[in-house]
Amino acid sequence: MALRFDVLIIGTGLAGQAAALRLAKTHKVALVSKRAVEDSASSWAQGGIAAVLDNRDSIEAHIRDTITAGAMLNDATATRFVIENGRRAVDWLIDQGVPFTRDQAGYHLTREGGHSARRVIHVADTTGLAVQTTLTEKIRQQPNISIFEQHIAIDLITGEKLGLADRRCHGAYVLDSASGEVLTIGARHTLIATGGAGKVYLYTTNPDTSTGDGIAMAWRAGCRVANMEFIQFHPTCLYHPQAKSFLISEAVRGEGGLLLLPNGNRFMPRHDNRGELAPRDVVARAIDFEMKKGGLDCVYLDISHKPADFLSEHFPNILARCLELGIDITRQPIPVVPAAHYTCGGVVTDLRARTDIAGLYVAGEASCTGLHGANRLASNSLLECLVFAEAAAKDIVEQSDGDLPSLPPWDASRVSDPDEEIVISHNWDELRRFMWDYVGIVRTTKRLQRAQNRIRLLVREIDDFYSHFRVSHDLIELRNLVVTADLIIRCALQRRESRGLHFSRNYPELLKHARNTVLRRRRSPIRRP
Catalytic positions are 280
Q: Which helix (H) or strand (E) holds 169?
A: strand 169-176
Q: What distance in Å separates the CA atoms of residue 14 and residue 19, rounded to the nearest whole number?
A: 8
225-226 and 346-348: which strand pairing?
A: antiparallel
CB neighbour list of residue 445: distance below 8 Å, 6 or more residues apart: 493, 504, 506
Q: Which one-letter amino acid corresponds to residue 123?
A: V
At 339, give phi and psi (nearest 5°).
Answer: -155, 150
Closest CA to 40 of 124, 129, 154: 129
3-state secondary structure 437-502: HHCCCCECHHHHHHHHHHHHHHHHHHHHHHHHECCCHHHHHHHHHHHHHHHHHHHHHHCCCCECCE
Closest CA to 31 of 51, 50, 6, 49: 6
The DSSP line for 62-110 is HHHHHHHHTTT-S-HHHHHHHHHTHHHHHHHHHHHT----EETTEE-EE
Q: What distance in Å separates the CA atoms of residue 427 and residue 265, rounded to the nearest whole number?
A: 41
The DSSP call for residue 332 is: S
Q: What distance in Å separates the CA atoms of residue 489 and residue 496, rounded to the nearest whole number?
A: 13
Closest CA to 306 of 322, 323, 330, 328: 330
Helices 76-84, 86-96: crossing angle, 10 deg rounding: 40
Closest CA to 329 of 387, 270, 255: 255
User: Which CA distances in Å does 260 have to 150, 207, 291, 333?
Assistant: 42, 28, 11, 8
Q: What distance in Å separates the CA atoms of residue 79 and residue 62, rounded to the nearest whole number?
A: 9
Q: Which helix (H) or strand (E) holds 385?
A: helix 381-398
Helices 445-468, 422-438: crossing angle, 10 deg rounding: 160
